[in-house]
Structure 1
Amino acid sequence: MLDSIQSRGYDITRLTFDMGYNHAMSGDFHKGLRERGIPNVQEYREEQKGITNGVGGAKFVEGDYYCPGTATKHLDATVDYDKAKGAISERQWRDNLAERWKFALHLKDVKANGKVRLSCPALGPSATVSCPIRDIHPRAFRGKREPGQVLKKDLPKRWAETAVCCQDSITVHPDEFLTEQQKYRYGSDTWLAVYKTDRNVVESVNNTLKSDFRVDLNSERRMRGLAASQYVVTFKAAALNYKRIADYARAQLRKAEKETRRYNPTPIRAGVKLPATDIKPAERKVRSRDRHGWSDYGRNRKKFHSVEVKPDVTSEG
């Protein structure tokens, strides 16, 4: 289906699915999405939350690689939030995530073969954490938010032998832990808004499809067998798509007719002639400062050459 959509010239900006779909599909499904350039947005299953893997000492947590010196309470923020069952608020959980993101490894570059190089978050002028085993760059933390702090007690015992702690970067294959990678950072404002919106749309469509035909109840199915049910649902999905297109076209026609009636009123009784109306669409009001280009806030404003005015200094005496 995805190949059919792309073959007709449409761009698929993302594919959003829940835990059930994520559990049913294997890693080949996620690899196929990557090969087609389709990012995904997903909810994690219980076993996919918290520390699940790692490379070169870096810990892989919910789609990102993190410094091995990241505090456990931040790495297990989602696990603790689920176990608390209300004792930890969503705001506290997301605050812990925001603090953890400071410890995420930075993207250094991408090789020609697709492999990714990641660097320690305490290196360079764009450092986001301060670490006792890394020298701070002179331009780091200037005018930025408060950096994360790696505590000595959280450092690996053999940090000198840990690749991410003693090298400039580590190399990661893009297909590593592919089933847990997604377009937006899990738990962020963007992820939450996109995931909830997409899931609401999907559930709305499902509700419409099932409104007059309960495909989930064996006793009310009009046809028996999985293949027959899929056949019927396919036709219902196609009919729903046609209905939405027709509803949109009908709404556009009604909008155009409404505008026409506004400027050409119909008489109540036949044979009655109404005077011609001179009503015109209301013009968009523009402030004089924007109309004449006097403001620095206008979009695409006209630029003027600045002229330096020297002070009038007169000699005394």
Structure 2
Amino acid sequence: MSAGDVDYGFNTLEPDLGGITKAEVMGRGRIHALIDDETVALMEGRVRKTGVLERLQEWRDEDAVPFSIGGRPSLIPERAILTGMLLLAKEGSAMFLTSVRDLLMFRLSDTSRELLGIERSLAAFVGHVGEKNRWYANTSRAFHRMNDLMDPFPQERRHSKTYTEIQEILRAHDPDLAEKRKARLDEFTKLFLVMTFNEQSRSIRRASNKIDISFDQTFVETPTVKGYSRKNLAKRVADEARTEEKKTLNPGPVDAFAGWHVSTGERTDASAGQVDLTDPGKKPSSAQYRWGWEINIAVRVDSEAPGQRRFPGLAVAATMSLPNVRVAEEAVSLMRASKSLGLEPGVGDADKQYWANSLTERLHDPAFNEGFTASTDYRVDRLGHQGGDHGALYIEGGTYCPATPAPLQDATKDLLGAVIDTATYRERIKSRTAFQLHQKEKPDAKGRAVLRCPALGPSPTVTCPLRELLKTKTKTNKIRPAVDGDDLPDFADKICSQHSVSFDTAKNRRNAQAFEYGTKEWDEFHTHARNSIESLNNQVKSGGTEDIESASRRRVRGFGAAQIIVTILLTNFNLRKIAAFISDKIKADAKMQTFGEPSVALVRRRDREWHNPYTGTYPPGVTPPSTATASPASDETGGPPRRT
């Protein structure tokens, strides 16, 4: 037995057990190794740092009835449950309640038990089955006591349901209670992720004073895979009512509050009060759907130095939601949660499922109010000229001169239509920048910005016949693009007749971006941001240490339980990323100390020792011998030196 193994005093072989020891019987084939006190204290300290324990008590007091007869004190506190889960995540074990039970029962020293506030287990072979059952019951009650404060969709989950029972669960659902508890659940996740962010050194946290994020959804399975569709629920209920023998009914789903994730094909985004109608049906395409939930994750990215790895790519915010429901609102929740890190809001990057497909009032306006600026790709139908104001044109997020040449307006369309190549596209985008209106004053509190014609001001970028009489002295005499007279508008609106015009940025908010679309700067950041979130999703999903997608390593049923477990796994992921980042930095610094000084080019031996007596040349740095011993000088005829 190793020094880290628990000694039950029953490691000797006995005839009635064959070749199996009593310790193995008690561990059901496992030998439980003790966890050192330092590691337990470290994880317990991190649980305390989150502030979750205080919030749980506040929520418990909020939900408490005015009068209570009291009850027996809990034998296992939430602090011990959360510490045990962090310890399991750290060693890559499955997040089963039985695993938490075994950890608390067998794998802690007396010092660690005292720290966590739990009793000592009665480790004895006789009666060990009843003792393990008692510990499991206490562990389960402690977990669900915490989960009940935050579960938005409470229901019985021990047995499969008939469709009639599913319908009754849906009818009894309390949306106000669900909203309150979901806010608590998201607060729980936020507190853990903020804790991991603060575990970094200040220099890493403050590598940028802004928090730029890239966000996306990733699918997580339910422990029970059977689902249903609300579109045909009423028909199934009617069919059950006509069945005389209820025992013949096939088992139905367990979780009433999950949904169909669309693996391929179009996705929907049902807002509050709407019912998602995604239905796999019985067609061959049903393989495109999976029953479960969505984890919405935001990763920290770098808009100032994309790809330079100034800090680790941590999950800085996360929520969980039903598939195809309130996708835009969950994105806003991620932005709001990421502001808890104490940094200024920056750029929010996402794919076309978000900025391109969401209504302005559901995503763009709330994101603007939170201080975030979009970065994304456009839908095909929103490329090129998309309306305007005061005579100016709105083109792919920017506000342009009405005389912007058509080839420049349609550059992206022509690229996607294979009319031009990428090199030509880049040149057109670069040329189009000259026609963009200049910002004279920053947007005010109401979102109004003062812009002026690009042919005006101290640094004009184009020349325009309409502005020749209003020319001002310029700083340079650069050659600037000229507005073609044929492109001039028939009617000179405010932007062509006034020195400056006030624009309401809300009118172009749907298409506004942090970087000018199509430029190299936009492409570098958007590529970096998309790669960052896709890499994070790939690392935390199936096959990795956390494996959040598969339910095979988390058997507790229900929406709330799933988010609690995923939160612990994301916390462990962040801690791993921080440690790996520091390790890589130490390696890089050590390499620089070893090889950082400029190396001296080696001189070949033939160059070090070679001497040409014909020309009297020596290797660099070698002093020729004195004239007394040296060969006679040349007679300057070009031939070999002669001896007298």
TM-score (norm 1): 0.69
> What are the equivalent positions in structure 2 for 1:42-191 lying under 5 Å apart?
42-84=376-418, 87-110=419-442, 112-113=444-445, 114-135=447-468, 137=471, 139-140=473-474, 142-144=476-478, 146-159=479-492, 162-191=493-522
What's the offset of the Cα at 1:124?
A: 2.7
SS at match of 2:337: helix
CA contact (8 A) 2:548 2:566 kept: no
CA deviations over 1:24-60 (Å, ceiling 9, x no partner): 5332322222222223322112122111120011000
What's the offset of the Cα at 1:282?
A: 9.8
Q: 2:350 aligns with which of 10, 17, 27?
A: 17
What's the offset of the Cα at 1:208?
A: 1.1
Distance in 2 of aligned mates of 1:165 and 1:191: 29
SS at match of 2:465: coil
- Letter aligned with residue 115 of structure 1: R
Question: What's 2:534 paired with?
Answer: 203
Q: 1:281 to 1:238 in 2, by over 3 A?
A: closer
What's the offset of the Cα at 1:229?
A: 6.4
Q: Where does structure 1 lack aligned partners over 5 or more consecutive residues?
A: 260-279, 286-317
% identity of equivalent residues: 29
- Letter aligned with residue 245 of structure 1: I
Q: 1:238 to 1:46 in 2, by over 3 A?
A: farther
What's the offset of the Cα at 1:227?
A: 7.2
Distance in 2 of aligned mates of 1:191 and 1:208: 26
Q: 1:47 to 1:119 in 2, by over 3 A?
A: same
What's the offset of the Cα at 1:234?
A: 4.3
59-68 or 8-17, which moves further after superposition?
8-17
Question: What's 1:238 paired with?
Answer: 571
Distance in 1 of aligned mates of 2:487 and 2:439: 23
SS at match of 1:179: coil
Q: 1:130 to 1:223 in 2, by over 3 A?
A: farther
Distance in 1 of aligned mates of 2:563 and 2:535: 19
What's the offset of the Cα at 1:190?
A: 1.4
Q: 1:149 to 1:220 in 2, by over 3 A?
A: farther
Q: 1:110 to 1:220 in 2, by over 3 A?
A: same
CA deviations over 1:104-132 (Å, ceiling 9, x no partner): 11112246544111111112331111111
CA contact (8 A) 2:355 2:363 kept: no
CA contact (8 A) 1:77 1:97 kept: yes
CA deviations over 1:245-284 (Å, ceiling 9, x no partner): 233355567789x79xxxxxxxxxxxxxxxxxxxx99997
- Letter aligned with residue 17 of structure 1: A
What's the offset of the Cα at 1:169?
A: 1.8
What's the offset of the Cα at 1:171?
A: 1.3
CA contact (8 A) 1:106 1:119 kept: yes
- 1:194 is aligned to 2:525: yes
What's the offset of the Cα at 1:138?
A: 5.0
CA contact (8 A) 2:356 2:377 kept: no
Q: 1:165 to 1:10 in 2, by over 3 A?
A: closer
User: What is the RMSD computed on CA atoms of the aligned residues?
Assistant: 3.4
CA contact (8 A) 1:127 1:141 kept: no
Question: What's 1:39 paired with?
Answer: 373
Distance in 1 of aligned mates of 2:449 and 2:369: 16
SS at match of 2:537: helix
30-39 or 170-179, which moves further after superposition?
30-39
Q: 1:244 to 1:147 in 2, by over 3 A?
A: same
Question: What's 1:274 paired with?
Answer: none
- Letter aligned with residue 208 of structure 1: Q
- Letter aligned with residue 91 of structure 1: A
- Letter aligned with residue 61 of structure 1: I
240-249 or 72-81, which moves further after superposition?
240-249
What's the offset of the Cα at 1:78?
A: 0.8
Q: 1:218 to 1:111 in 2, by over 3 A?
A: closer
Distance in 1 of aligned mates of 2:576 and 2:595: 34
Distance in 2 of aligned mates of 1:207 and 1:38: 26
- Letter aligned with residue 52 of structure 1: Q
CA contact (8 A) 2:384 2:412 kept: yes
CA contact (8 A) 1:128 1:141 kept: no
Distance in 1 of aligned mates of 2:587 and 2:403: 62
Q: 1:100 to 1:250 in 2, by over 3 A?
A: closer
Distance in 2 of aligned mates of 1:246 and 1:100: 45
SS at match of 1:65: strand
- 1:26 is aligned to 2:359: yes
- Letter aligned with residue 95 of structure 1: E
What's the offset of the Cα at 1:142?
A: 2.8
Q: 1:48 to 1:223 in 2, by over 3 A?
A: farther
Distance in 1 of aligned mates of 2:584 and 2:444: 50
Q: 1:143 to 1:251 in 2, by over 3 A?
A: same
What's the offset of the Cα at 1:186?
A: 1.0
CA deviations over 1:186-209 (Å, ceiling 9, x no partner): 112211111111111111111112
SS at match of 1:192: helix
What's the offset of the Cα at 1:72?
A: 0.9
